[in-house]
Amino acid sequence: MKVGVIGTGYVGLVTGACLAEVGNRVMCHDTDSAKIQRLQAGDIPIYEPGLERIVARNNQAARLRFTTDLHNVVNQAEVIFIAVGTPSDEDGSADLSHVLTVAKNIGQALEKPTVVVNKSTVPVGTAERVRETIQRELDARGVTVDFDVASNPEFLKEGAAVQDFMYPDRIIIGAKRENTRETLRELYQPFNRTRDKVLLMDTASAELTKYASNAILATKISFMNEMANLAEALGADIEKVRTGMGADPRIGYHFIYPGAGYGGSCFPKDVRALIHMAQENGHPAALLKAVEAVNNRQKSRLFEKIQTHFNGHVAGKTIAIWGLTFKPNTDDIREAPSLVLIKQLLDAGARVQAYDPKGMAAVADYFGPTENLSLCEDEYAAATDADALALVTEWKRFWSVDFQTLKNHLRQPVLFDGRNIWNPYQAREAGLIYYGIGRP
């Protein structure tokens, strides 16, 4: 099948590469010519395990191409995916300007029947707005072209996106027309062999499913962080509480890990967008507001612990930070807890020495040249002569730390474990002062 993907960001690039991997002819479009040139040369602008190999393999086989020529993409493709960003607007709503601009451009270029698919995370009713926008442009041109608009939300985890696309747990198709449903079912057939993972529904339900899925996961995280803070106040160990909770199959162990708060490109903006949608429709969204408020507070938890340990005298101290991305196995720092901690420490007069396996360039761009912020070559360089170490992102290379070696690098033997990955008893036996999240 000939497929067009408009937008070569995280979702668009993974979608295009994985569809090409199973034999489709895919053309990915972006308005950023420099980015397209990088992709044509095999230079992947994001870090995602396994993606570079798939892009290179399919680029070489001419199944995956990159272009700035939208007219060519639109009129060659049988299916056109819209995969552009929908960032938060000032009022928390999803900014649809990029999506609707793409729809307008499709309407101005479309000459043959096609299926347009919203892959971007968009508010309920967007499929209809895209349909109206395309039709308005066709009417302005005085042409009649048969097309349909479907919703096919992505459920890709950063750090495991290729695996998630190639082996999905569900494939949601929101469409009215039977021929549209069958076209998309056929497109996804290679990913649907072991069992039927396709869930057919209307576009509004498909759009809401994406938001509801992210919101429930964010809710679980905020709930566990709330429980962790309570456990700490009561002298209980949240890690023991977590294992006791997770043993109940109705609860399970997924997403009940306390920590320094969630970040990234999805959960924060999707919770805000869902709150906005609810309020626009007369619903107060009290639970979602609480989820967001708890998460915003949790991002300050490590700083509060550091302040408490030093009796409020953080100025002049050197704090090492391990992990800057919002989660492991990505270079994405959007709304990462580390950014909040770094700013709070710098504002308090501390010096920060930080390291991350993949997020250093993004953090350097985010803060620019900043006095008292050093980005170090490895984790032990960051720890050298630091008065304390704060772990913020649980990269695997940080898990099996040699506590004695770490202690020898630190000026003061103080650990703040923002993800509860270390054994507090082993740390204390090595002579380190250990603080976790929700641990007595």
**Per-residue tokens: 402:** 């040699």
CA distance 6 to 82: 5
Q: Six-digit token pair at 144? A: 């009649």
18 noted as active-site residue = no
Look up residue 88 and give its DSSP letter: B
Of 289, 174, 268, give the one whose Cα is nearest residue 217: 268
Q: What is the largest CA-CA distance in the chain?
A: 78
3-state secondary structure (DSSP) of residue 45:
coil
Q: Is the dihedral of CA 51, 57, 60, 65 positive or negative?
A: negative
Please report the sign of the dihedral spanned by the C-alpha atoms of residue 305, residue 306, residue 307, residue 308: positive
Contact by Cβ (8 Å): 340, 300: yes
- The answer to whether residues 21 and 92 touch, using CB atoms and an 8 Å cutoff, is no
For residues 46, 48, 52 and 58, what is the CA-based torsion angle, rounded to 10 degrees? Answer: -100
Q: Which residue has the tokens 């990913």?
A: 191
Compute the residue count for the chain: 440
Task: Kindly list the strands in the beta sheet with 64-67, ordered across the sheet, starting from the edge strand earlier in the chain.
Answer: 64-67, 25-29, 2-6, 79-82, 114-118, 147-151, 171-174, 198-201
d(CA 56, CA 53): 5
Residue pair 424/436 in contact by the 8 Å Cβ criterion: yes
Beta bridge partners of 353: 320, 374
Q: Which two tokens stand for residue 172?
A: 């949601």
CA nearest to 288, candidates 300, 271, 263, 302: 271
CB neighbour burial string for 226-246, b if at least 16 within 10 angstroms, e if fewer: bbbbebbeeebbbbebbeebe
* Active centre residues (catalytic): 266
